[in-house]
Structure 1
Amino acid sequence: MPENGQDVTQITLFHGVDTQFEISEVPVEVSANTVLVRVNLATICGSDLHTVSGRRGADVPCVLGHEAVGTVAAPTDLHSADGKQLHEGDRIVWSLTTSCGGCHYCVTKKLPQKCETMFKYGHAQCVGEDTLSGGFASHIQLKAGTAIYKIPDTIQDAEAAPINCALATVINGLETIGTYPGETAIVHGAGTLGIYAVCYLREKGYETVAIVDKNAFRLQMAKQFGATHTLNADTTSAEDISTILKEVTDGHGIDLAVEVSGAPSALPDMINWSAIGSRCLTLGYVYPLDNIPFNVHQLVTKCITLQGVHNYHPTVLKTALGFIEKNRTRYPFAELIGKTYPLSEIDDAFTHAFRQDVIRIAINPRTN
């Protein structure tokens, strides 16, 4: 239950573009067929910024925030995704979406993240049973069909908070398109997804992993996560980047290109930089934008495989947890969070996140 025996909790309501968040108290109704979670830490994802800026729509009012970790706060009949009983006090992470396990997309297409009855945390209108559905709140209520995993004691909240969107999405995408040791790779975008992609590829045996961004701080951070070449698109033209990549690949071009920036220039540039027989993965176009022209002749004549991936299969969340646990001494995952704000300062937190002078901004509802 909420602290001090109270039956109310705090949420932050987003009412639309150019409006401040509203901090509100709402009643909590504990149910055995849901999991009431006290939010420990939530991070501001790029898609949250898209919503607040108006780049994509939202049903308002809503409680944003989907990258989060928390502690089970009330008894529940639900179990973790690997069949373990959940108890009050368990520290957990959960899937971004729910799935029914029986529809066309869940069964035939093997895409439960596109379930016909899917619910997506941090994206729903705040009404009725969906009132506690976002991470920028003191509590969130998880529904049946959510993949829930207990967090190992060795993993810090700051290491785990971004993984149920950023890392899980990256791993799902890379598992879908395939990774092969000894290949070369380029990552377009040095935000959280791009940095995760770099270290994941390095651990998969990639000796050359270049990364492109316009933000010098982010490129410097990417080096700490294994980037072998950092290319600043603000000072280096796409043509010069192509020349550099040809030099480091014996003239062939890149084997695997990963787009996580959402930049309109990313896809056409990656097609140009890619080698014959290469693969191109795109994850970052998660907001509506105009059509992007690119060289389809190159796509065809280079025999490039182009793959789009959205969200992730819920079982990948366990893989993401294992990756953090195994590699947390090799990479400074907790340092991806540049600053943490209390829930009462959520407007300041978003203002800071838009400056992009850190990788992730976090919100801790348990501090004042």
Structure 2
Amino acid sequence: MIDEDQRHMAHALSLGRRGMGKCWPNPSVGCVIVKDGRIVGRGVTAPGGRPHAEPQALAMAGPLAKGAMAYVTLEPCSHYGKTPPCCDALIEAGVARVVAALADSDPRVSGQGFERLRQNGVEVTTGILAQEAMHDLAGFFLKVEQGRPWVTLKLAMSLDGRIATATGESQWITGPAARRAVHALRNSHDAVMVGGGTARADNPALTVRDMGAVQQPVRVVVSRRLDMPLMSNLAQTAKEVPVWLCHGPDLRPETRDAWTGLGAKLFPCHLSQGRVDPHSVLQALGQAGLTRVFCEGGGQLAASLLVADLVDELQVFSAGMALGAEGQPGLGALGVDRLADAPRFELVDVTVDGRDVRHVWRRNAAI
């Protein structure tokens, strides 16, 4: 039974991963309904967060849900929101057993969904592939418990840690396969974030491309004074794909009015040492509902997040070229005088993307 439970939960987790970046502020949950060893229903949290995975899987299963087992990556909700509780839907469908990877840390749900199921005669098993589920849902838990989203920092650098030549040329240090991997990472996050310097220098679109018709992530720029061109790609497409701007409290009214007129959403944030405070930025983004943010630099924003201990995962793409000391460094100053004070991460994966090598590092490899 344990092996079967793990196999079906792995399937449910794979379903949940398909919804990453699409259903914030809700978590992307996967659900599989199994009857007599056969899968009769599958569901994943819909774009925008509703409907939840369980009612979709139950609808597919129909009458076959009676006496079946439901594998869910997160505890079924037990409260009335914009939709009825998922645990009630499971009970009414006659599901005999619910297998869940994790309990929900949301105080409206935590443990109550499991308790209601048990009180209505449904067998409940928890903790199946819990570590894998914890990583997949870490952004949702961070938002609930700390008020901020999960942060993935991407660095695409030469072998000697440079992101551009001394003249600023950076396209392209990494190859096509690595760039496609970056678009896949954008697609699995709620938002893509850059600093004002990168927005000015690169004039990026920050959209997911060459992956078919997808729901585009929110595009976030962190800039104290929002001194970016109003004819930039971001400014001119703000009404088509969301642009959120995190700025300082001293923003000029005419700048605010210009960006809001273009369709951007503005978030005033606190300052720290003359720069927009990264804690304030992430709290604002978490309050707005984001659970997963993909940061693509530049060096100063990346450094500020690292110094503040707000980077949960590093995705580092290393290219087989060297640019020398005159090249632009991938990270701004960190103020590290002793090795003991340097930000440290644990290596969790190494892959080859075309001609480049990707290293994945996490603050906590168990998540």
* Shared fold per TM-score greater than 0.5: no
**TM-score normalised to structure 1 length:** 0.27
